[in-house]
Structure 1
Amino acid sequence: MKKFFSFLGFVLFVISYSEAAQPDSSVIKRVNELSGIVQKKYAPDMRVEYYQLKQQTTAPLTYKLELSRQEAATELKALLSSENLSVQINEEVLPSGDLGEKIYGIANLSVINTRYGPDHAAEMATQAGLGTPLKVLKKERGHYFVRTPDNYLSWTESAGVSLMTKAEFENWQTAEKVIYTDLYGQAYSEASEASLPVSDLVAGNIMQLISESNGFYKISFPDKRIAYISVKRARSFDQWKYLPDPGADQILRTARNFLGIPYLWGGTSVKGMDCSGFTKTSYFLNGIVIPRDASQQALVGEKLDIHEDDSVNIAKSLKTLKAGDLLFFAANKKTKRVTHTAIYIGNGEFIQAAGLVRINSMIKGAKNYDDFQSRTMVGARRMLTAIGDPEVTRVNKHPYYQRYVN
């Protein structure tokens, strides 16, 4: 009987201790509320800033905070302290320490697909072409979390990225390079287009130049593969990036080259493009980096007045718009949330990736009239007069393409 009461006392002690060790649910709720406030301030758009708070233990109440901005962690801790909440925050400002010194990367395939999660089944986010410089933030389940030059955050398979230390990255950046200018082609194992291919290539791919002989460039991939490409299909990257600012004719010439290419959600290459991937790539192949998504592009460049009584007026648009301007559309006219973009050609015509890259008109009665897009247009921006602004950047001025990094 004594043993029974001793055991019963022990059980009651464990239950009592366990209940005492559990944090007040109101504390957890308040932590989440304060975290939400901080996230909204410092990472309102998770496409460009990262913030993730996860509870680790309950006794003591401990959280792991992964984020891209140190000031967010500082503010969260200050808020918790101001309310005397006994919470431990274990923070890690990316890049993750697990990467060591290899926090830089170069896209290693003609096109790498990136996703919103470290999983093959995750939604496609965007693409990056061979030679694109990347900032690598962490690794999880065979995927790297990377930031592309357009500031986009997403996950890509580890096979598509060559990791580098700062010194290795700067060696890549300072080396002489070529940029592929044909829409699509191949790099070959010998200086002959009859030889076996080493890789496919798409417009905008960037490779290190080893030598030039007999009408071929001998080039090196980020993973040290050696191949050959015809000098007719590429040009000096340094010469290309210092070309004068493009005009509308150049942007539209590039855009028209994509006619008929199928729509692909997240696509930014000739293998498939979504609407903003199409506009972004039309500008990039002329040396200009603009934001990735339509809703982001709609916030940069020179805002154009095409409205009458708070609605887009087609007649006014025809007078105001110039070739090369970006048009923006919202499927929901009430929220006016931008969901689509296109490039204006002139005379009421525009070129867009919708099903496939095609040319349509906003003028009723035209053979290629697009009724839906014409009714859902909500704004327009002029990028060509904004070149040099922080988010309409020449490649040669962009931080990711400089010879040296901070």
Structure 2
Amino acid sequence: MNKKLIHIVCLSLFAAQFTYAQSDSSIFKRVQEVVTQAKQNFAPDKRTKIVALTQSDINRNIYIIESTEPAANDFINQHLKELRADIKIKNLPDSSVADKTHGVINLSVANLRTQPGNASEMATQAILGTQVDILQKDKGEYRVRTPEGYISWIPSSSVVPMDQSTFDQWKRHEKVIYTQEFGKSYSKPDLKSMRVSDLVYGNILQLIGKEKGFFKVAYPDKRIAYIPVSEALSFKAWLASRSLTSENVLSSAKTMMGLPYLWGGTSVKGVDCSGFTKTAFYMNGYVIPRDASQQVLAGDKIDILDADGHFDPTKALKNLKPADLLFFASGKNSNPNARVTHVAMYIGNGEFIHAAGSVRINSMLKDAANYDDFQTRTVVAARRYIGAEDPQIEEIKNNPYYK
């Protein structure tokens, strides 16, 4: 009798545990479903917005969600409020950065990666003086958001975190921008003095004054240096001198001829295909989306495809203008809805300039000597940025990260 009773009790306990596990599993699936829906609705591009289930303890019914999107938080809370679970939404910026939610890049060119650690894939770059949002700190690195909205990780040595007061002081100071392709700053107003750091086009520093033909400048980390006056301009004067014309954009693009291809690169030290177009527009006073698959969603659409959706060279030669962007999918004869993986800038007469191995010029004309590379990809779209009214194509002077 006792054995039978024990057997019944054990079976009952097992059934209860199984039911509890089933219940926990259904809760987990429901949390996943709602977070996935919130991601689709409010953060479809994880490169620029974050909604993610980062921790799940099914046994204890504890779930942690990271989010940069208040609207997504409201959606999740509304759809999970009846669930018997401990659901915590961690808003970014989070407590790991305390009150230092602003940052300024402190190297001539800083590498940003998809995850913390130098072994992680490079996502993009940011150059000296660029202001960023600091969202999170982990393993000695910061998760930051760049002026074009790109979210990735950067070593703490590459950025100076600032609280609101310090950041406001940085912003109030007059700035200079370095206008040579490559150079360096000096420890004294003397070309023979020790170098403070290297510099590249577009680097921005605080202006302290002038001395012996040099700008006296300060870095975000308060290092003092000197730059020859002939190699920089006041940031305000530089902005006032920018004019977005096809001639100017192509001229800037051609200054990068021969630069090596660098995955994630967005500076004159090396560029990837979209980093190349991004940099050409930056040189002319504009911030545009970071990646080719994002750039194809901006600007005015140019008709270059036939009735079946395939590239039509005759139509392209007729409708394209210099400095229009051409977008490609991998492989020959890809369908027009294929994922965009490459971007180039149209020059004219069937030629385009792009970063592929190096920055170089190719042609869409079959009888041209430089047609080779065109055969390995399929053109699927073209966009015109110059003259387009699109908030994704923004003047630097209007972008809050440069004010």
What is the TM-score when the length of structure 2 is the normalising length? 0.92
Deviates more, 1:17-26 or 1:28-37: 17-26
Deviates more, 1:244-253 or 1:270-279: 244-253
Amino acid paired to 1:275: C
- The match for 1:376 is 378
Name the CA shift for 1:226/1:9 in 2 (closer, same or farther; >3 Å).
farther
Q: Distance in 1 between matches of 2:115 and 2:84?
A: 32
Amino acid paired to 1:223: D
Q: Distance in 2 between matches of 1:212 and 1:44?
A: 48
Name the CA shift for 1:73/1:305 in 2 (closer, same or farther; >3 Å).
same
| C-alpha deviation, 1:80, in angstroms | 2.2
Structure 2 residue matching 1:311: 3-state secondary structure: coil
| C-alpha deviation, 1:242, in angstroms | 2.6
Name the CA shift for 1:11/1:226 in 2 (closer, same or farther; >3 Å).
farther
1:248 is the counterpart of 2:249: no
Name the CA shift for 1:374/1:303 in 2 (closer, same or farther; >3 Å).
farther
Structure 2 residue matching 1:250: 3-state secondary structure: helix
Structure 1 residue matching 2:254: 3-state secondary structure: helix
Structure 2 residue matching 1:253: 3-state secondary structure: helix
Q: Deviations over 1:255-306 (max 9, x none)?
A: 1111111000000011110000000001001110000000100010111111
Structure 1 residue matching 2:226: 3-state secondary structure: strand
Q: Deviations over 1:349-404 (max 9, x none)?
A: 11100000001111122122235358511111111112x531100000112122xx
- The match for 2:30 is 30
Q: Distance in 2 between matches of 1:308 and 1:16?
A: 64
| C-alpha deviation, 1:104, in angstroms | 0.2
Q: Do 1:112 and 1:127's aligned partners in 2 also have CA atoms closer than 8 Å?
A: yes
2:135 pairs, out of 134, 137, 140, with: 137
Q: What is the total number of aligned residue pairs between the two structures? A: 394
Q: Deviations over 1:127-179 (max 9, x none)?
A: 00000000000000011000000110000000001011112112111211110
| Structure 1 unaligned residues grouped into runs of 5+ | 1-7
- The match for 2:4 is none
- The match for 1:77 is 77
Q: Distance in 2 between matches of 1:51 and 1:65?
A: 7
Deviates more, 1:33-42 or 1:131-140: 33-42
Q: Do 2:129 and 2:204's aligned partners in 1 also have CA atoms closer than 8 Å?
A: yes
Name the CA shift for 1:242/1:11 in 2 (closer, same or farther; >3 Å).
farther
Q: Distance in 2 between matches of 1:293 and 1:323?
A: 21
Deviates more, 1:95-104 or 1:352-361: 95-104
Structure 1 residue matching 2:49: 3-state secondary structure: coil
Q: Do 1:65 and 1:73's aligned partners in 2 also have CA atoms closer than 8 Å?
A: no
Structure 2 residue matching 1:359: 3-state secondary structure: strand
- The match for 1:350 is 352
Q: Do 1:329 and 1:373's aligned partners in 2 also have CA atoms closer than 8 Å?
A: no
1:169 is the counterpart of 2:167: yes
Structure 2 residue matching 1:391: 3-state secondary structure: coil
Q: Distance in 2 between matches of 1:171 and 1:26?
A: 52
The aligned runs of 1:179-328 (5 Å cut-off) are: 179-309=177-307, 310-328=309-327
- The match for 2:101 is 103
- The match for 1:89 is 87
Q: Do 1:50 and 1:66's aligned partners in 2 also have CA atoms closer than 8 Å?
A: yes
Q: Deviations over 1:43-90 (max 9, x none)?
A: 111000012213443454111111101221221222223xx4312211
Q: Distance in 1 between matches of 2:52 and 2:234?
A: 42
Q: Distance in 1 between matches of 2:329 and 2:96?
A: 42
Name the CA shift for 1:133/1:55 in 2 (closer, same or farther; >3 Å).
closer
- The match for 1:5 is none
Q: Do 2:304 and 2:382's aligned partners in 1 also have CA atoms closer than 8 Å?
A: yes
Amino acid paired to 1:329: F
Q: Deviations over 1:13-41 (max 9, x none)?
A: 99888667644323322221222111111
Q: Distance in 2 between matches of 1:236 and 1:76?
A: 47
- The match for 1:50 is 50
Q: Distance in 1 between matches of 2:245 and 2:376?
A: 25
| C-alpha deviation, 1:9, in angstroms | 13
Q: Do 1:328 and 1:338's aligned partners in 2 also have CA atoms closer than 8 Å?
A: yes
Q: Distance in 2 between matches of 1:372 and 1:348?
A: 11
Amino acid paired to 2:401: Y
Q: Do 1:362 and 1:370's aligned partners in 2 also have CA atoms closer than 8 Å?
A: no
| C-alpha deviation, 1:213, in angstroms | 2.1
Q: Distance in 2 between matches of 1:157 and 1:142?
A: 7
Provide the alpha-carbon RMSD of the alignment.
2.3
Deviates more, 1:210-219 or 1:148-157: 210-219
- The match for 1:401 is 402
- The match for 2:65 is 65
Structure 2 residue matching 1:24: 3-state secondary structure: helix
Q: Do 2:50 and 2:68's aligned partners in 1 also have CA atoms closer than 8 Å?
A: yes
Q: Do 2:176 and 2:233's aligned partners in 1 also have CA atoms closer than 8 Å?
A: yes
Name the CA shift for 1:136/1:10 in 2 (closer, same or farther; >3 Å).
farther
Deviates more, 1:131-140 or 1:92-101: 92-101
Q: What's the % identity of the aligned pairs?
A: 47
Deviates more, 1:316-325 or 1:85-94: 85-94
Structure 1 residue matching 2:340: 3-state secondary structure: coil
Deviates more, 1:54-63 or 1:331-340: 54-63
Q: Do 2:177 and 2:233's aligned partners in 1 also have CA atoms closer than 8 Å?
A: yes
- The match for 1:4 is none
Structure 2 residue matching 1:282: 3-state secondary structure: helix
Name the CA shift for 1:302/1:195 in 2 (closer, same or farther; >3 Å).
same
Name the CA shift for 1:209/1:86 in 2 (closer, same or farther; >3 Å).
same
Name the CA shift for 1:56/1:362 in 2 (closer, same or farther; >3 Å).
closer
Q: Distance in 1 between matches of 2:240 and 2:375?
A: 36
Structure 2 residue matching 1:242: 3-state secondary structure: helix
Amino acid paired to 2:394: T
Q: Distance in 1 between matches of 2:156 and 2:11?
A: 52
